[in-house]
């Protein structure tokens, strides 16, 4: 009966199901998700009553600043917690590939984040009741938010695998996430370009490294191939590197 | 290995004809400059329960971690039901039921959910999973705690949960690291009977530093000291020698360990597995 290893996807599904339920076993995830949701909705409501526009652009514009703290807090435990409690040994001695483990944990984190995004649906409903928002733009904004969040979770998972300490994983994750966002800010780009005149460091970082320009494209309704490639490609790279690290941690 | 006392199954006894379910060949494992496992070889055939003994830090846990695929050997080969643990670790793990030394469990999960998770991860589903769950919960006497969260269970129950997780997929090879740790004397006696009932068709390797416990459970004992195999012999032979020389079983084992200790006075200390 014993020799029947699962494939990559089925193995990832089993891991994802356990991880997803584990978020709610701890209670911390529930509390932090609700807190982030309340914060996101209140930020939108504040902007909405000030601007009085029937669109979600202000919400999506503020979202990255919230996510650079919320998502590293979520991803910090992905591997560091298992290493701390020694359940890492349980996971890597199951007949599953390292790819299944990494994909499963990432899928669970992404599902929790998707649940957070679903919690902002009342904003869309309210806008539809009050007027006629551009639903295509809203959908594109949610796609951008999902891809951006997926990238931060993949990078956070990588840092969690690299660090046995959750706090270190959180700090590094928040710093990396913040740099992906802030490097796209025009004011910072101008400051950096001014500091290193002739080299245009700020512009170079903005164009080659920053996530914000790609995110802004999607939020603005332009689902460009460059933006999709950036988010999907970088996320896949982070997941692959995590797989390599998990294999090395075992040996 | 010339100084190793070998009269056990790997040296050719009545079970020598069957193909080994667990075959450890000339395995070496180092942690930096420390030699934790030093050219160890032995094999377990179907139906064998082998006690793996040695003092703390002898390399028992490291060798079991190598068998479990958690660690990879620096030299040598380990085959688990015909699968090489380095070349085909996933297939090897599917054949193995493993209880680790520290028996880490997902503390927040309910016991039945934890066992379901392990069963699913091992490819069980539907009626087959339900049947195996029923069997393991009954066999490991977990009925009273199935709805509890793991962290609410006593040490003895935690050990039995770990054992149930190791057995849920009906593995052909079972490797248990200090499985009786945390069990009371009554539970230990029940465990010994249970282990003997599992033996037909399976190979069982379990580590302990209590020789009496091993002798009560196994037909064969493998002793390791400072990473080296120092004895591989039937329990009956160990008992006969102890009786002949007027020693206890522990005393006889200590006598076997002495030459190994004396042979390597200047070598770096062999250690246990990294944490």
CA-CA distance, A98 to A73, in Å (whole number)? 23
| Residue A4 binned pLDDT confidence (cut-offs 50, 70, 90) | confident
Q: What is the pLDDT of residue B14?
A: 43
The answer to whether A50 faces chain B, any CB pair under 8 Å, is: no
Question: For residue B100, which residues of chain A lie inside 8 Å, CB to CB?
Answer: 86, 89-90, 93
Classify B165 in phi/psi space as left (phi over 0), alpha (psi -120 to 50) or beta.
alpha
Closest CA to B149 of B118, B122, B112: B112
Query: Which chain B positions have a beta carbon within 8 Å of A6's beta carbon?
Result: 121, 123
* pLDDT recorded at residue A142: 95
- φ/ψ of residue A145, rounded to 5: -65, -40
Beta carbons of A97 and A11 less than 8 angstroms apart? yes
**Is the CB of B135 inside 8 Å of chain A's CB atoms?**
no
On chain A, the residues whose CB falls within 8 A of the CB of B106 are: 18, 22, 87, 90
pLDDT at residue number B275 = 35
Per domain, the residue ranges of chain B are 96-170
Whether the Cβ atoms of residue A14 and residue B132 lie closer than 8 Å to each other: no
Q: What is the structure's pLDDT at A52?
A: 74
* Among candidates A4, A22, A93 on the partner chain, residue whose Cβ is nearest the Cβ of B70: A93
Give backbone dihedrals phi and psi of A73, rounded to 5 degrees, phi first. Answer: -65, -30
pLDDT of res. A205: 87
Instruction: Count the residues in chain B.
Output: 275
Contact across the interface for B108 and A93, Cβ inside 8 Å = no
Residues in chain B closer than 8 A to A22 (CB atoms): 106, 108-109
**Which of B71, B104, B172 lies closest to A86 in CB terms?**
B104
Across the range A180-201, mean pLDDT stands at 86
Q: How far is CA B239 from CA B9, B11, B196, B250, B251, in A?
A: 17, 19, 19, 10, 11
pLDDT at B260: 57
Other CB atoms within 10 Å distance of the CB of residue A41: 16
Evaluate whether B70 touches A70 at the Cβ level (below 8 Å): no
Q: Do the domain assignments include residue A28? A: yes
How many domains, in total, are found in chain A? 1
Residues 6+ apart with CB under 8 A from A58: A44, A47, A48, A51
Radius of gyration of chain B (CA): 18
Phi and psi dihedrals of B216, rounded to 5? Answer: -75, -20
Pick the range with the lowest mean pLDDT from A42-56, A147-161, A197-211, B233-247.
Answer: A42-56
pLDDT at B5: 53
| pLDDT of B270 | 40
Which candidate from B104, B107, B120 shows the least CB-CB separation from A89?
B104
What percent of chain A clears pLDDT 70, i.e. is strictly above it?
Answer: 98
Domain coverage including residue A136: 8-250
Q: How far apart are CA A155 and CA B89, in angstroms?
A: 27
SS3 A72: helix
Residue A251's pLDDT band, with cuts at 50, 70 and 90, is low
- Strands laid side by side in the B220-225 sheet: B5-6, B228-234, B220-225, B49-53, B203-208, B173-177, B96-99
Structural tokens at position A150 = 């997926």
In a domain, A1, yes or no: no
Measured from the Cβ of residue B183, the count of other Cβ atoms closer than 10 Å reads: 18
Taking alpha carbons only, the member of B179, B109, B182 closest to residue B146 is B109
Alpha-carbon distance of A145 to A60, in angstroms, equals 7
Q: What is the mean pLDDT of each run of 10 residues along chain B (275 residues)?
A: 46 58 96 93 95 90 96 96 95 95 92 97 95 95 95 92 95 93 83 89 90 86 92 90 86 76 45 39
Q: Does A27 touch chain B (CB under 8 A)?
A: no
At residue B24, the 3 state secondary structure works out as strand
Task: ipTM value, please give it.
Answer: 0.88
% of chain A surpassing 90 pLDDT:
62
Of A22, A96, A250, the CB nearest to B90: A96
Residue A2 resides in a domain: no
Tracing tokens 């089993």 back to the chain, one arrives at A14
Q: Is A86 touching B (CB cutoff 8 A)? A: yes
How many CA atoms within 13 Å lie on the side-chain side of B237? 15
**B94/A92 CB distance under 8 A:** no
User: What average pLDDT does range A172-181 have in this prediction?
Assistant: 95
- Alpha-carbon Rg of chain A, whole angstroms? 19
Q: What is the pLDDT of residue B121?
A: 96
The 10s digit of each residue's pLDDT in A103-121 is 999 999 999 999 999 999 9
- How many CB atoms are closer than 10 A to CB A208? 8
């Amino acid at each position: 009966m014993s020799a029947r290893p699962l494939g990559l996807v089925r193995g990832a599904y089993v891991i994802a199901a356990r991880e997803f339920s584990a978020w709610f076993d701890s209670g911390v995830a529930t509390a932090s998700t609700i807190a982030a949701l309340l914060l996101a909705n209140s930020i939108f409501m504040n902007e909405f009553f000030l601007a009085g526009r029937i669109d979600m652009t202000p919400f999506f514009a503020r979202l990255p600043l919230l996510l650079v703290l919320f998502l590293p807090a979520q991803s910090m435990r992905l591997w560091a917690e298992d290493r701390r409690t020694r359940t890492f040994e349980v996971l890597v001695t199951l007949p599953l590939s390292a790819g299944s483990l990494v994909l499963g944990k990432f899928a669970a984190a992404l599902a929790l984040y998707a649940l957070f995004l679903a919690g902002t649906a009342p904003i869309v409903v309210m806008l539809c009741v009050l007027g006629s928002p551009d639903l295509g733009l809203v959908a594109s904004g949610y796609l951008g938010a999902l891809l951006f969040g997926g990238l931060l979770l993949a990078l956070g998972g990588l840092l969690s695998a690299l660090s046995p300490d959750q706090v270190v994983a959180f700090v590094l994750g928040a710093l990396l996430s913040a740099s992906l966002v802030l490097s796209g800010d025009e004011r910072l780009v101008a400051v950096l370009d001014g500091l290193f005149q002739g080299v245009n460091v700020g512009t170079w970082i903005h164009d080659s490294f920053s996530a914000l320009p790609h995110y802004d494209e999607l939020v603005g309704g332009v689902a460009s191939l460059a933006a999709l490639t950036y988010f999907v490609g970088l996320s896949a790279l982070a997941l692959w590197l995590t797989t390599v690290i998990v294999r090395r941690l075992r040996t | 290995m010339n100084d190793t006392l070998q009269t056990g199954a790997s040296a050719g006894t009545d079970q020598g004809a069957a193909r080994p379910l667990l075959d450890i060949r000339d395995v070496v494992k180092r942690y930096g400059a420390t030699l934790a496992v030093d050219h160890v070889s032995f094999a377990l055939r179907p139906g064998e329960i082998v006690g793996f003994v040695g003092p703390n830090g002898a390399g028992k846990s490291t060798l079991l971690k190598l068998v479990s695929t958690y660690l990879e050997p620096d030299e040598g080969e380990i085959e688990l039901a015909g699968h090489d643990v380095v070349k085909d670790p996933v297939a090897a793990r599917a054949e193995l039921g493993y209880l680790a030394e520290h028996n880490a469990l997902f503390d927040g999960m309910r016991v039945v959910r934890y066992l379901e998770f392990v069963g699913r991860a091992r490819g069980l589903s539907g009626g087959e999973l339900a049947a195996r769950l029923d069997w393991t919960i009954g066999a490991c006497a977990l009925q009273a705690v199935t709805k509890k969260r793991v962290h609410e269970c006593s040490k003895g129950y935690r050990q039995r949960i770990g054992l149930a997780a190791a057995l849920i997929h009906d593995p052909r090879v079972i490797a248990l690291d200090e499985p009786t740790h945390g069990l009371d004397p009554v539970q230990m006696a029940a465990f010994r009977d249970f282990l003997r009932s599992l033996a037909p068709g399976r190979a069982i390797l379990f580590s302990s530093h209590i020789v009496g416990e091993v002798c009560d459970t196994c037909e064969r004992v493998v002793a390791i000291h400072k990473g080296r195999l120092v004895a591989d012999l039937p329990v009956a032979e160990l008992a006969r020698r102890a009786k002949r020389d007027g020693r206890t079983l522990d005393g006889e084992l200590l006598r076997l360990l002495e030459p190994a200790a004396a042979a390597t006075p200047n070598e770096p200390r062999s250690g246990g597995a990294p944490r």
